[in-house]
């Protein structure tokens, strides 16, 4: 065998041995790398910290000026959940975009007479499909633990602009208020309180179901 062939064989042996050593080193280091991967997965989640602790910034104003602090947003799962009744222009162009940026409240349910519009908006704003209602089922909102308040201003605004009777009229709110007064009176006195005939027999005019 000449010198060039011997050099070629030696080089091949060196490469084979080097590859085997590198493979062995990689296998030996695998458990450590697994821990690194696990740590990287943890970094994909928000860090654990006191969310109610305000961020302190160095002062840049005089002592006589009003002191301010950065806003303290509430965690998304703890924000007040609102249901929007009616998906007209005010809800679509103003309320839903505002809730999307709100730090203390969020839209969690929609009530609409237009199911396709409601599903599209729910998809855009991350609202669960189970939280879409129509005007025949919206009284089930009371059983939805996510809903803490109902926003009807959009529907009322449209009724004012178009001079229409609202689906939930003001007389209904007044009736509820009178009943609550009687409940407080009974709790305060410890006695049975009878409802007046104008409360029991009231006929409340209800407007047509909104189409939005």
- At residue 159, the pLDDT reads 76
In tens digits, what is the pLDDT along the chain, a chain of 212 residues? Answer: 555 555 554 655 655 555 555 545 555 555 555 555 555 666 666 666 666 666 666 767 777 777 777 667 788 888 999 999 888 888 898 899 999 999 889 999 999 989 999 999 999 999 999 999 998 898 899 899 999 888 766 666 677 777 887 777 777 778 878 888 888 888 999 988 888 776 767 777 766 766 66
Q: What is the pLDDT of residue 135?
A: 86
Which residues make beta-bridge pairs with 109? 83
DSSP for 177-191, written as a single string:
HHHHHHHHHHHHH-S
Q: Which residues contact 144 (CB under 8 A, 6 or more apart)?
A: 83, 108, 109, 131
Cβ(192)–Cβ(186) below 8 Å: yes
pTM above 0.75, yes or no: no
Can you tell me whether residue 26 is helix, strand or coil?
Answer: helix
Q: Residue ranges of the domains in the chain?
A: 76-168, 169-202
State residue 177's pLDDT score: 82
Q: Which fold has domain 76-168?
A: Rossmann fold (3.40.50)
Position 30 scores a pLDDT of: 53
């Amino acid at each position: 065998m000449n010198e060039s062939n011997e050099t070629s064989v030696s080089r091949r042996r060196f490469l084979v041995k080097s590859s085997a050593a590198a493979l062995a080193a990689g296998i030996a280091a695998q458990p450590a790398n697994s821990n690194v991967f696990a740590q990287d997965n943890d970094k994909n989640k928000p860090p654990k910290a006191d969310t109610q602790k305000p961020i302190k910034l160095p002062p840049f104003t005089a002592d006589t000026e009003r002191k301010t602090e950065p806003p303290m947003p509430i965690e998304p799962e703890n924000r007040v959940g609102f249901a929007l009744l009616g998906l007209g222009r005010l809800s679509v162009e103003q309320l839903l975009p505002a809730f999307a940026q709100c730090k203390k409240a969020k839209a969690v349910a929609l009530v609409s007479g237009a199911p396709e519009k409601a599903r599209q908006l729910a998809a855009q704003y991350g609202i669960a499909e189970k939280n879409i209602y129509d005007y025949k089922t919206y009284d089930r909102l009371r059983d939805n633990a996510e809903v803490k308040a109902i926003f009807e201003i959009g529907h009322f605004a449209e009724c004012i602009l178009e001079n229409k009777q609202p689906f939930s009229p003001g007389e209904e709110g007044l009736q509820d208020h009178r009943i609550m007064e009687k409940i407080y009176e009974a709790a305060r006195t410890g006695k049975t309180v009878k409802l007046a005939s104008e409360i029991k027999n009231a006929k409340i005019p209800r407007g047509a179901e909104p189409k939005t």
